[in-house]
Structure 1
């Protein structure tokens, strides 16, 4: 039971706000020593148990340098800093602003048009940047004032922006999918291909919800009058296409090279970096200062991810050493009903609840490695299971009280927008995500995913 107690001790410390990477590392060392003391026993006295147990507990950490070296040599994880750099460079080019302005005026004359354009721009940004915080902030700064000006319902406007910004979690190239590809030891390209259908389904579901709500309640999302200063409708369409084409080109370069088998995801991330710098040159926003700032931000975010990974590696090592994985496996296999579906339903509920409190990176590196061997024993397709987890983890960005998208948006909204309005606005989108998650679980063939490893 030492491993199970260790898990809940780490969770409690995270809820108190301790840094994630250091929490996992410190808890691992502490409970490794406790496990060593328990293994030595107290037959020869307390002093012997403490001294020998301390040494025994630290012995397992002799292999940590080899584990850290394997992380450093992992070619899959090399894509993480490059995709982050690509996203930050694109953010600094003003791509989001151009897309939102053009598409906002393009769809604005229909009810819910600005909200629909926000979802579409969110999907394009997800496929070209994948940086949730940047997408939410950009759309919050640009799109929200327009919606507020034309009397959009505040919760609907806030919910649309938060949900659209999180599309980068499921639509490739997604950092979550890269991490899960490493954890599951499956090709990231396979995950990218499998995520296209669920990602587009989520975009369609968001737009359908906005259309239905604005149809039955005209005051929720009124139409915006045409702006003569922007020229005729045909000119607006041409202007929108001019702003969209660079993003689509970059998406085709990155994802097309993967799907065509020309490049691996790691190699395509390098293509994406070059494409992002090229767009910066096209938009005349390129400068050495911009590259320096983007590089520094990329290093900070990447350091956070890899710091968590090293702490999580120590945690999982001690968890396995103390037999925690066997207890979890026994519990999962003894769930009532069908073993496979009992396991899937329980894990989805557990990840959904954990998403209320901790980040997707911690869940990916702490919880998921415990579940992977059990899924293999139950003959569950790892690609299908990874997509289910990725969709579930996306929800963690929206769930109150600690959803990151909520904090990102709250930081840029006017003082008149209350936190409770943001919370209210995301609830329908959380429900939509859960519905799409259930569809992927029960009808995976509809999304082109085989739920079994056989065949």
Structure 2
């Protein structure tokens, strides 16, 4: 059997399995093991074992359960609620202030969890009912929560960038630092849009009523500020130790997990139920990502053995005569199209064996490309018909928010995300400046 036929059969078999509803890691791992036998004969039987040993030896993977544990501990113990109350008090007097505060909340939740689903759950359960009760436009605030929660896969400690780092064999610390400034840039653009929209149409985001503001005493404001600042202190200690070189990435993740537990203990919320729920969710998410990485490593090894990357590079560069930038744009467009039907991990595992070596061959920085990939995933999360965040919001939103409202709500925020993608593409130093600064010491 020719290598070209094996490659075609690999992709077609994998797509059939995914369409039939099989789990991503199961479909990809199955295809990798079966086709490794076709490529290497009986020697291919060791493929899964070799990939698992490589996974277990990857020391930065220890950060994954630590950061997930930290995020869920802060969420399950109600400390994230305190954070929203602080922003509620600070931003309430401004038109659109609660929506702006929600974006700030999402940035901080993202910096504590690394998953978009955590921000979506907190935003839909805490922020959305309050925003609707205050008379905010339901279409705008639905978009605010979806866009804000998508920052979880870009702002460090992004779990998606951990997965990318493992597959692309790039340092996770550099990837996280590379995602920091683009994530803040995108959050600032969201805030700018909300501020301008509510300035033009004040009824979209009415300010907190004077009576409600006057009911809050100085003691109440201080209490909310103290409660809300705890998560900020945890994040500052964790990232500060890492950036200054006092701790490694894994040690910083342990500081964050321990800090979240101590915060819950000090607040009197470290109950057995909270600990059980947090541990259970952490184990489930961590195991899922480890299986995905394991399947991706096996799949990538088979594809490397086929030499398919060189064939695709020759097709684009020699036969079609496309420039490196034109090829890069085509790759990003393909992610957007796939994102309408697949989640971020499925997209990465399916095309990583092709795109990552091709990006390296074209002379682009793989850390910078990881940020571009992640931003494109954020956009794909919010594009109909099957955007991941659209269905999460539909499941969590109250009855007065229809599916059509959810689809309409994402349009301006997707436009803002595309603008951010273009800016980071044109100016790579936005992503590369911080990791170069820290790692040049």
* Superposition TM-score, scaled by structure 1 size: 0.88
Structure 2 portions without partners, runs of 5+: none
Task: Confirm or deny that 1:10 pairs with 2:21.
Answer: no
1:125-155 C-alpha deviation (Å, 9 max, x unpaired): 1112223212211111121112222332211
**Paired residues of 1:246 and 1:279 also in contact (CA < 8 A):** yes
Equivalent residue number for residue 225 of structure 1: 209
- In structure 2, relative to structure 1, the CA distance for the partners of 1:326 and 1:57 (3 Å cut) is farther
**Paired residues of 2:84 and 2:228 also in contact (CA < 8 A):** no
1:74-100 C-alpha deviation (Å, 9 max, x unpaired): 111121111111111111121221122
Equivalent residue number for residue 78 of structure 2: 94
Equivalent residue number for residue 388 of structure 1: 372
Stretch moving more, 70-79 or 102-111: 102-111
Equivalent positions of 1:200-211 (< 5 A) are: 200-211=184-195
**Paired residues of 1:96 and 1:135 also in contact (CA < 8 A):** no
Equivalent residue number for residue 26 of structure 1: 30
**Paired residues of 2:371 and 2:431 also in contact (CA < 8 A):** no
Task: Confirm or deny that 1:251 pairs with 2:235.
Answer: yes
1:18-44 C-alpha deviation (Å, 9 max, x unpaired): 2111111233344455x45xxxxxxxx
Stretch moving more, 79-88 or 124-133: 124-133
- In structure 2, relative to structure 1, the CA distance for the partners of 1:403 and 1:282 (3 Å cut) is farther
1:157 offset after TM fit, Å? Answer: 0.9
Equivalent positions of 1:17-96 (< 5 A) are: 17-32=21-36, 35=38, 57-96=41-80
**Paired residues of 2:88 and 2:98 also in contact (CA < 8 A):** yes
**Distance in 2, Cα, partners of 1:332 & 1:230:** 65
Query: What SS does the corresponding residue of 1:411 show, helix, strand or coil?
Result: helix
Task: Confirm or deny that 1:192 pairs with 2:165.
Answer: no
**Distance in 2, Cα, partners of 1:450 & 1:124:** 19
**Paired residues of 1:15 and 1:357 also in contact (CA < 8 A):** no
* Superposition TM-score, scaled by structure 2 size: 0.90
**Paired residues of 1:96 and 1:139 also in contact (CA < 8 A):** no
Equivalent residue number for residue 424 of structure 1: 408
**Distance in 2, Cα, partners of 1:345 & 1:14:** 26
Query: What SS does the corresponding residue of 2:329 show, helix, strand or coil?
Result: helix
Query: What SS does the corresponding residue of 1:186 show, helix, strand or coil?
Result: coil
Q: 2:393 aligns with which of 409, 414, 429?
A: 409
1:119 offset after TM fit, Å? Answer: 0.3
Task: Confirm or deny that 1:440 pairs with 2:432.
Answer: no
Stretch moving more, 273-282 or 98-107: 98-107
**Paired residues of 1:128 and 1:173 also in contact (CA < 8 A):** yes
Specify the structure having the higher radius of gyration (Cα): 1
**Distance in 1, Cα, partners of 2:414 & 2:209:** 31
**Paired residues of 2:178 and 2:435 also in contact (CA < 8 A):** no
Stretch moving more, 207-216 or 104-113: 104-113
1:58 offset after TM fit, Å? Answer: 4.6
- In structure 2, relative to structure 1, the CA distance for the partners of 1:223 and 1:443 (3 Å cut) is same
**Distance in 1, Cα, partners of 2:115 & 2:299:** 27
- Give the helix-richer structure, 1 or 2: 2
**Distance in 1, Cα, partners of 2:181 & 2:33:** 43
Query: What SS does the corresponding residue of 2:247 show, helix, strand or coil?
Result: coil
Equivalent residue number for residue 295 of structure 2: 311
Stretch moving more, 170-179 or 234-243: 234-243
1:38-61 C-alpha deviation (Å, 9 max, x unpaired): xxxxxxxxxxxxxxxxxx645323
Equivalent residue number for residue 147 of structure 2: 163
Equivalent residue number for residue 49 of structure 1: none
Equivalent residue number for residue 283 of structure 1: 267
Structure 1 portions without partners, runs of 5+: 37-55
1:397 offset after TM fit, Å? Answer: 2.5
1:250 offset after TM fit, Å? Answer: 0.9
Query: What SS does the corresponding residue of 1:399 show, helix, strand or coil?
Result: coil
**Distance in 1, Cα, partners of 2:236 & 2:419:** 29
Equivalent residue number for residue 273 of structure 1: 257
Stretch moving more, 64-73 or 310-319: 310-319
1:306-347 C-alpha deviation (Å, 9 max, x unpaired): 122222233223333344333333234347566321222111
Count of paired positions: 432
**Distance in 1, Cα, partners of 2:324 & 2:65:** 36
1:401-423 C-alpha deviation (Å, 9 max, x unpaired): 33332222222221221112111
